[in-house]
Amino acid sequence: MGVTPGALRQSITRLRRSLGEHSIRTTATGYQLVASVDAALVEVDYSRVGGDPDAIAALLDRWDGPSIAEFSRESWAAGSAGRLDDLRATIVEAHAEALINAERFDEAVGSLEAHVVEHPFRDHPRGLLAAPAPSPLPSLESGWVSQLLQE
């Protein structure tokens, strides 16, 4: 790596100060970062939020871009990336469903419009758009929903 052992130890010391003493372990072969991965944290938090649309939106706000995009060309990452992309899609759908349950229909339709375009083969968001609502959805009158559902 072109780093002297002293410079490496100094960098590890600075990281421990910033991240906490127990965040980096010394092992027989070097150093090990002990940290929770963002995706794992989102999974845990998703299991706890229930049907609160604002809490679900906060989870989605933590998601930044495609899953493990920096490794998108690596074959070993394909399974994990697919699972994480599916998790994100599931959370987007749960958010839309929570918005519908909270009678925030325009927000739900806006979210689902982009989601159905991005994931045209997922059935759940189409079902949410097709389900009868307790009050009229002005956004549905534009005709895009019926067009998407017919495709």
H-only helix segments in the chain: 5-19, 38-49, 53-61, 78-101, 105-118, 123-130, 144-150
Q: What pLDDT is recorded for position 106?
A: 87
Give the C-alpha separation, 141 to 104, whole Å: 16
Look up residue 132 and give its two tokens. Answer: 């009868």
Tens of pLDDT along the chain (151 residues) come to 578 888 888 988 998 888 888 888 989 988 888 876 677 788 888 889 889 999 999 989 888 777 787 777 888 888 888 888 899 999 999 999 999 999 898 899 989 988 999 999 999 998 888 876 555 554 544 444 555 555 5
Q: What pLDDT is recorded for position 35?
A: 73
Burial class (CB in 10 A: 0-12, 13-18, 19+), 87: middle
Q: What pLDDT is recorded for position 144?
A: 44
Domains of the chain: which residue ranges? 1-35, 36-150
